[in-house]
Amino acid sequence: MFLNSIKPAEGATHSSKRVGRGIGSGLGKTCGRGHKGQKSRAGGFHKVGFEGGQMPLYRRLPKRGFKSLNVQAEVRLSDIAALGGEVDRLALIRAGLVSALANKIKVIGTGEINVAVQIRGVAVTASAKAAILAAGGSVE
């Protein structure tokens, strides 16, 4: 096999339209552009969304909000006490306490905990850490 012998697959390429070659070709006279109007003329180009000078749809509609990519989630001590055992990001998502989109998760010291839990890969406030250690748990 040589580079000069490589050809595209059968049916992958099409011959270009030969416009302006008489009525019998199907693309004579107006060459498939129709009659009159901006698109029929040479250089008749307008940008996407242009509506002939009328205020375009994307400008008529109001601007409204945006989706933040910096999603932060807080989890209470009382919620972690209900989970018990080993708590990590995946466990919090499965329990429905945190959205899967959250990129920062932090345990805050709201509520009480009296169950020993092991926390891994999640940020913890100082007061929450003290409460978890006092309950016999650990924070990594």
| pLDDT tier at 45, thresholds 50, 70, 90 | confident
52 vs 61: CA distance, rounded Å: 18
Residues spanned by the domain of 116:
72-139
Give residue 68's pLDDT: 83
**Percent of residues, the chain, with pLDDT higher than 90:** 76
Q: Assess if residue 4 is contained within a domain.
A: no
Q: Which of 76, 118, 104 is nearest to 132 (CA)?
A: 118
Q: Assess if residue 135 is contained within a domain.
A: yes
Q: Which long-range contacts (CB under 8 A, 24 or more apart) does 89-93 make?
A: 89/121, 89/122, 92/122
CATH number, domain at 116?
3.100.10.10
Give residue 84's pLDDT: 81
Q: What is the pLDDT of residues 9-19, one digit of tens each?
A: 999 999 999 99
Strands 138-139 and 117-119, bridge-based pairing: parallel
Q: Assess if residue 55 is contained within a domain.
A: no
